[in-house]
Chain A
Amino acid sequence: MRVVKNILSQLHTFVLWLLASALIWGWVFTIVTDTSPEKKVTVYCHVPTMADTALAAALEEDMPQGLRMIQVHTFDYVMFGKDLFDRGDIFIVPASEDPAFVQDLLPVEGEGGTKVYDAATGEGVAVDYIHYGDEDYYMYLGSGSVHLEDGAALAVARTLLEME
């Protein structure tokens, strides 16, 4: 009873510590789970839903040398900032994507986007992780990627293309 009374008398301190703890460790984990663009390859997928963490972990199993991590995020072109666009290494976008957005992207192989999902057959790459919408999807490399020269972006794209 006395302990409860004591705690209630200092409730603000205990709540403040809870918030401080969450903020401090949240910041620490942001640092731990992120790194500079030179040490990671970032994949952006414009899809309804996906298992981003599981896909990143699967891609990291065959990670090119020199990289520390692979990040996978869903995105929406409308919500996408220019800075993130410049930092992205690989993009998976639907056929209906805004042409103005797609024209700034680079092909993985040959010309145009590499088809990664066929809506007619329902077949595509990494379908265990990526839940595609009801249209065809294409893969591109980011024109601002820092991994075009070292080939890491292309290597990860190829690993992704080989995933069932």
Chain B
Amino acid sequence: MNGEIRELYTDADMARMEQRIKTMRTVLWALALGALGVCAALTARTGTLNAQRMELAVIAVSTLAGWLVIYGCIFVLTPARRELAHAVMLRSEEREEVRGALTVTGERVAIRHSITARRAEACMDDGTTRRLMVCESRAGAMAAADPAAVYVCHGYVAAYEVKTCGS
């Protein structure tokens, strides 16, 4: 009774995540180097009369740009990289099949410090219950597909099986 197996992270998802990380890295580098260039230009235009004003301007530019870069690194780039690493792990490591009815709960947990996951419970065919986790960004689509089985890697749902016509 095998149906179609859908990966939680498809090849297209992986490519999109990698591209997003590359773009973010480029933007952050451009911001940092741009700010450094502005600071260097202001420093080069410093004279006896405007030295204090220029110093304040340079500190302001460097601080604000630094804050943006820090924010981007901590709250945008790092979570994206962690999610990519998580997806790579889900796609590459050994999985076990859990067959039964799956219910995604509303309980949220943070995994790898910044990825939000939802708890799920699988009522297996033998009557036992397994507690699993599924990344929040994929939980909705998976729950809507009403999977007949899930493939689990280190307690995380890596793929799910949906019934297809004729199966």
Contact = CB atoms under 8 A, between A and B. Distances in A.
B58 A25 contact: yes
B63 to A, nearest CB: 5
Contacts of B62: 21, 24-25
Interface size class of A (residues with CB under 8 A): 20 to 34
A53 B55 contact: no
A57 B39 contact: no
Interface in A1-60: 3, 6-7, 10, 13-14, 17-18, 21-22, 24-26, 28-29, 32-33, 53-54, 56-57, 60
A46 B46 CA distance: 27
Interface centre among A3, A28, A69 (most CB of B within 10 A): A28
B59 A22 contact: yes
Interface string B62-93: 11001100110011000000000000000000
Contact residues of B: prevailing secondary structure: helix
Contact residues of A: prevailing secondary structure: helix
A53 B51 contact: yes
Contacts of B59: 21-22, 25-26
Interface of B: 39, 43, 46-49, 51-52, 54-55, 58-59, 62-63, 66-67, 70-71, 74-75
